Copies of this chain bind each other. A is one copy, B any other.
Amino acid sequence: MKAEIIAVGTELLLGQIVNTNARDLASGLSDCGVIVYYQTVVGDNPGRLKQAIADAYERVDLVILTGGLGPTKDDLTKEIVAEYFGKKLVLDQPSLDRIQGYFDRMGREMNETNKKQAYMPEGCIILENNCGTAPGLIVEEGGKIAILLPGPPKEMNPMFEEKVKPWLSGKTGSTIKSRTLKMTDIGESNMAAEVSDLMEGENPTVAPYAKEGESELRITAMAKTEEEADGLIEPVAKEIYARLGEYIYGEDDTTLVEALVKKLIEKKITISTAESCTGGLIASEITSVAGSSEIFGSGYVTYANSAKMKMLGVKDKTLADHGAVSEQTAKEMAEGARAASGADIAVSVTGIAGPGGGTPEKPVGLVYMALADDKGTIVKKLNLDGSRDKVRRRTVKYVFKMVMQRIDEKGDNK
């Protein structure tokens, strides 16, 4: 079934609120095997709303509308939909009683205008609102379906989950499922180039996405059941792992740092951090993961040279000969942090995050990162661009990738 979501509300058009309803409905609809082709936002304007509904039924057979079911004059969604389907609004006593009961419970007087909310298009399915006054409703006629839901997410979401979803899944008898493979160390275009043939597929589809220094491939299948969808997705996922497995660190909601901390815990590898330009960001990312205390005991933020020497034992001569932003300093920082913390692995970062501090030889974005473990110390050089914040955040990603690779080298990766 093809659907369009129409969110009604001038505050959306003015950008005063973000349209989370469209996101929540879209994600819920695809779970029911409904394909959302369009999302639309219109203001509380009768003419434009009427036109939007007419346009929608040119394109799809299911239209979900949120908002405009309130008691005030400019809440018109129900009236316009009834008019579109040529249905009269009739008083629904049970709805009126529920609204009355709602006000009684709140110890508030029911305003005359609230009665408006109890008038429903004749012959519609009424969706009780347990979180507010405005009932939702479903109108079905001539192959066209309109589902009207209240605008406040607190009212809309439970109504959709409890009443609309079961009704729709019954209609479609099908479901859509997605699986996302998340990668590092490969750009979106290079990744896409590796699987361009798979991206031609219809079911499942394969689509690439890029997010700050990471790339994703999303496999989406439509089927009668979840199991069937998984069956369609699995071989494609296998093929992608065969081609790009080395870059894949996790799936779906897993973040790189979560995948790393999980792996460190599994392998019982402890880690420490020595940070100059990232200034504690690496440590704060690691400790943002619940359970990280199992593998992280201490971190060193050594912004000043004196701190690098005092806390990490970086040699005066090293700083004098090579400077704070150098391969040698990064190496001594990592080794110093490992010695001071007693951790299995220590990582270090020293660089120029900018916007100031750059020189022709050592420009903004120059970062050295090092990793010290029982096998020795590796140092990597990065040349990043972008804002101070971006340089710092991307450095953190590169550090996590470096650790990932290093511990994957250490024997098997189960």
Contacts and interface: CB of A to CB of B under 8 A. Distances in A.
Contacts of A43: 37
A283 B297 contact: no
Interface in A173-207: 176, 178, 187-190, 192-193, 196, 199, 207
Interface string A105-124: 11111010110000000000
A208 B70 CA distance: 10
Interface in A345-403: 354-356, 365, 382-386, 388-390, 392
A189 B37 contact: no
A41 B22 contact: yes
Nearest to A192: B72
Nearest to A26: B15
A12 B37 CA distance: 10
A33 to B, nearest CB: 12
Interface string A30-51: 1000001111111110001001
Contacts of A52: 38
Chain copies in the assembly? Answer: 2
A28 interface: yes
A169 interface: no
Interface stretch (A81-89, A225-233, A235-243, A299-307): A299-307
Nearest to A41: B39
Given A212-B154, A385-B106, A286 B279 contact: yes
A13 B107 CA distance: 41
A265 to B, nearest CB: 13
For A113, A355, A392, the residue with the greatest tally of chain B CB atoms inside 10 Å of its CB is A113
A77 interface: no
A326 interface: no
Interface stretch (A287-295, A328-336, A405-413): A287-295
Q: Is the interface of A mostly helix, strand, loop or mixed?
A: mixed
Contact of A39 (B19, B283, B298, B299): B19
Contacts of A29: 15
A90 interface: no
A250 interface: no
Given A72-B189, A106-B385, A304 B298 contact: yes
A334 to B, nearest CB: 15
A207 B74 contact: yes
Contacts of A55: 55
Contacts of A11: 207, 209, 218
Contacts of A388: 288, 290
A17 interface: yes
A64 to B, nearest CB: 12
Contacts of A44: 207
Nearest to A108: B187
Contacts of A95: none
B15 A187 contact: no
A106 B386 CA distance: 10
A102 interface: yes
A165 to B, nearest CB: 13
9 contacts: A15-B24, A37-B48, A71-B189, A131-B386, A280-B281, A290-B388, A293-B304, A298-B303, A300-B301
Given A12-B39, A280-B287, 7 more contacts: A14-B176, A15-B27, A38-B40, A72-B188, A131-B386, A275-B280, A288-B388
